[in-house]
Structure 1
């Protein structure tokens, strides 16, 4: 399996942004807290996409990739433009932590939990199966998506490396 030094193109996906690539691409997003990184993959075409969503639902704003309900469908369109087929897509999701705690220890606003629900519902509505996830809990993560084989590596401070 190639490591991050063996890919031709490395794309960093910032908050409320997305990127697509082919088998020569590593897509990464850093610092996922309550946000969720959604990696979509067409293993036959070797086409992948990654979107870093911040909130569950778009209230009508123009930055559609910021939201689960509009960002995921937009990512699919971008992937189809470079050869992916929606019917072949699978997903891996990372993030959705409860980062903002009250004095009692409860998650305030529950943005991470709401994001998890919205992402899962959107993927289900689109007929896309989730093959792996590392969501919830109370810590941030970074994710690295190797499009050549669909592997997602998750790194967190003082946690073991997770591979989905």
Structure 2
């Protein structure tokens, strides 16, 4: 039983029973979650910004950092576990995209991240079956490979499933 821990801009996957894929403290960042019922593989990307054009060097070094590069990178990784490279058959879930630091709602990074991720998913003919986006609180996300469950937590709130 292990954990695949993802930081900001990281992406990872596992199909090892007993493993968890986890990321901490999503604020304006958005977690893109892929679950493949056929191969029992789960994958996640911790996306920080919507568009890689602002820093092509960072995008090539850490493609999970940007919405437009995270989706193809995660699909490529999932394909190494036997999942369809174009995302066919994957269950998609999204969470995060909160407004935790921008009290005046000036930059709307969370909303922009969520929209950019949806746009990137649509290019593959994919869409989320469930989402927990927005609000003004951070989220920690844990995906259980064995159960195929996505559990969210936030300080002062009971855990909930997505």
1:103-154, Cα deviation, whole Å (9 max, x unpaired): xxx2131101100111111112212231211110111010001122321000
Say whether 1:98 aligns with 2:99.
yes
Runs of at least 5 residues in structure 2 that lack an aligned partner in the other structure: none
- Residue in 2 that maps onto 1:72: 71
Corresponding pairs, count: 154
Q: Distance in 2 between matches of 1:67 and 1:101?
A: 20
Q: Distance in 2 between matches of 1:125 and 1:64?
A: 17
TM-fit CA distance, 1:9: 1.8
- Residue in 2 that maps onto 1:36: 30
- Residue in 2 that maps onto 1:21: 14
Q: Distance in 1 between matches of 2:126 and 2:35?
A: 10
Matches within 5 A, 1:112-151: 112-151=110-149
Q: Secondary structure, in 3 states, of the residue corresponding to 2:157?
A: coil
TM-fit CA distance, 1:23: 4.3
Q: Distance in 2 between matches of 1:11 and 1:141?
A: 17
Runs of at least 5 residues in structure 1 that lack an aligned partner in the other structure: 1-7
Pairwise CA RMSD:
1.3
Select between 62-71 and 122-131 the one with higher mean Cα deviation.
122-131
TM-score (norm 2): 0.90
Select between 26-35 and 147-156 the one with higher mean Cα deviation.
147-156
- Residue in 2 that maps onto 1:5: none
